[in-house]
Amino acid sequence: MELLRNHSLRPYNTLNVDATARYFARIRHVDQIGQALAAAPEAERILVLGGGSNVVFRSDFSGLVLKNEIRGIRIVRSDDAHVWIESRGGEEWQDLVDFSLEHDLGGLENLTRIPGSVGAAPVQNIGAYGVEIKDLLESVEAVDIRSGQVRTFSNSECRFGYRDSIFKHELKGLFFVTGIVIRLARQPEYHIEYGDIRKKLEEYGDQPLSPRLLERAISEIRAVKLPDPRELGNCGSFFKNCIVTPDDFERLRTSYPALPFFREHTGQIKIPSAWLIEQCGWKGWRSGDAAVYPQHALILVNYGAADGEQIYDLSERIIASVRDTFGLVLEREAQII
């Protein structure tokens, strides 16, 4: 384990903003967590970094960054109906999706092309097109950063919510996710009711629906709507969608009859934040190199030289605008550092 000092974080965040970590260590084995802490005893703040696809560095980081690079994906159990896969936290999320497809297993296809690491997935409870990781996850293995003890969290112990988990609240910053176990079906239940999925599948003619075909459809949809962070700095959906009560929804729909929505199983109503932002005139807005993506108002982008503070300021202006117009308060998906 090598401890780096004053190390640039630009290569490690998909928003491509420049920032420096006072201390930086690549963690490829659990034992290296303790080694890094011992090598930087004066570091008061610790940040576990995965793929860097959900962070905004407003300034330099004065503490220790632990870059999760623990690798490995394997099948650990199977029966006639399901297969259990263990993935280490430093794997790219897409590599886990591809592994499942190579074994003709269903469940992850709706979550394809989500940038980031496996270790960050349960922290954020990543989701797309009607599926969240909580629907598939059996357990999370994590290391208590300070004590070094390994703990296994069951699905229920993770306290998953919409883009939320216990790791963003009571246990925020306290654990390093070393791996997860997911359960996938040999005969999957497909989720094709969201967005343009059905329309895209119709373009393929009479091809039988399969995990690979659905993954292809969603990949093509995402390619049109979302910028590739390798080509244009971004951290995916910057804001969560708004969840409101039925009464609040009816109040809004009186003023905005075209208001789009999805009804949650809880009875609450989900309103696409992209629509709210677009109605406020932000879609395609740009100041310097900080901008709102012209093809999707939920994406904030860096055209090259924007810093984290400029991106953060833009998000603050959007939040204020939506609040003043609709009376709704947007929540960021992106983690502000």
Residues identified as active-site: 163, 237, 333
Q: Say if residues 48 and 143 touch (Cβ distance below 8 Å).
A: no
Buried b (16+ CB within 10 A) or exposed e, 183-194: bbeeebebbbee
Ramachandran angles phi, psi of 293, nearest 5°: -60, 130
Residue owning tokens 């696409």: 272
Q: Tell me how far the alpha carbon of residue 212 is from its chain's centroid.
A: 22
Q: In this structure, what DSSP letter does residue 76 have?
A: E
Looking at the chain, how many residues does it have? 337
Question: H or E element: which one contains 4?
Answer: strand 3-8
d(CA 264, CA 335): 25
Which residues, at least 6 apart from 217, have a Cβ–Cβ distance to it below 8 Å?
197, 200, 201, 204
